[in-house]
Chains A and B, each alone.
Chain A
């Protein structure tokens, strides 16, 4: 049964990266518990527009939890209080009438702020471009099962491939480390036969790009794992640590 909430929002407003930002308080009134967090912001924005106030800028796209565009640190938790949930899939029934909700952008040095709650996450794209791909011959689809893959590898690769690249891992990390993202991307392809030709280069280049983009170093807080909407496990970070060392060793003895 739906009922309505009256909330107080403390929203981070910042014109652009060069201007200092601050929290601004807005009432969010008559919010149906059935609506999502982003729909709640839509309702607030509609009332802001009617009052001639610039609406709150926030990122979103599919609104069904798979595109990785939505973000927001809600009361100190990336993607809000529900586990394994993106902000767009977070429903207002998880809040109580009269709650005050702090809404902040991803605060990561490598994600420069664009406006209000929107940050530039292209650093993740550049890491992906450095090695998160395979070189396959284009053409007709190959026959099914022509490349045998052990079931457990296929399952583990699929678990890693679930990463939607939202950046919550880096946002939640006290060190702003993107290791969970890089771990998911490297592990996903390292577990599959199609990923083998570039395996060494991939681990080295993606980690190098991660470092040069200014992300921090993983110190095993496991905050990333706790907030990841795709439930990527921190054991993939362990796998990346292993992949990287083997890649560095293979690379240093590759001059046969």
Chain B
């Protein structure tokens, strides 16, 4: 226990915790995207997938618990690091002329905290359905919860889609720095792979953006349509 506390107290220890939780969250974001893209396979595929997830029972709550814990630890630890970093730089330069830092790197704390608030909205919107309780009753012809239709109807609201795309953009900006950053912090960014990783990181984030954004865009452009309710 003492070893864990002293590890967490150290600068590098905290960075490892941020990187590991970040890695888990990137894994979730990728898996969630691949799962959601089944919407393009039609109501059958997506509703079956949703029913499968709901059918996991306790295991689903374990997964949710781990994800929320990772998110919480990731946020708390980065805020601690941010406070320490501010304390380490009591006087700022009059002239700033950054040579390497990207916009994504400089806005990690802002993009991260806005994404966190987006996650709260997103859970109320599509997980607890608190904003539209009537969606809970929607069923498809097989008697499964009609997630397919509620996603499309949910995205037909331009304000929701606007906020969704903004949250998504900030998430992907966050990831464009975050992906190469956890590789560096976990100690595997060697000289040979440093350049390709820094190059690829924003493109991977861009792919995640396109993958997710395709769903609200297809909904709002009526490329996919809900079942009648």
- A residues within 8 Å of B by Cβ? 12, 23, 73, 75-77, 102, 104, 107-110, 172, 174-177, 179, 207-208, 210-211, 214-223, 225-227, 233-235, 237-245, 248, 251-252
Contacts and interface: CB of A to CB of B under 8 A. Distances in A.
Category for how many chain B residues contact A: 35 or more
Nearest to B194: A235
Interface stretch (B80-88, B145-153, B212-220): B80-88
Point out which of A12, A172, A215, A216 has the most chain B C-beta atoms below 10 A from its C-beta. Answer: A216
A104 B187 contact: no
B185 interface: yes
B157 to A, nearest CB: 37
Given A104-B94, A110-B88, A176-B89, A220 B180 contact: yes
Nearest to A103: B95
Contact of B108 (A219, A233, A244): A219
B108 to A, nearest CB: 7
26 contacts: A23-B94, A77-B99, A104-B95, A108-B88, A109-B87, A110-B88, A172-B99, A174-B98, A175-B85, A175-B88, A211-B11, A216-B89, A217-B14, A217-B85, A220-B185, A221-B101, A221-B105, A221-B106, A223-B98, A223-B99, A223-B101, A234-B189, A238-B194, A241-B16, A242-B188, A248-B6
B98 to A, nearest CB: 6
A233 B194 contact: yes
A196 to B, nearest CB: 18
Contacts of A77: 97, 99
A245 B96 CA distance: 34
Contacts of B7: 248
A235 B81 contact: no
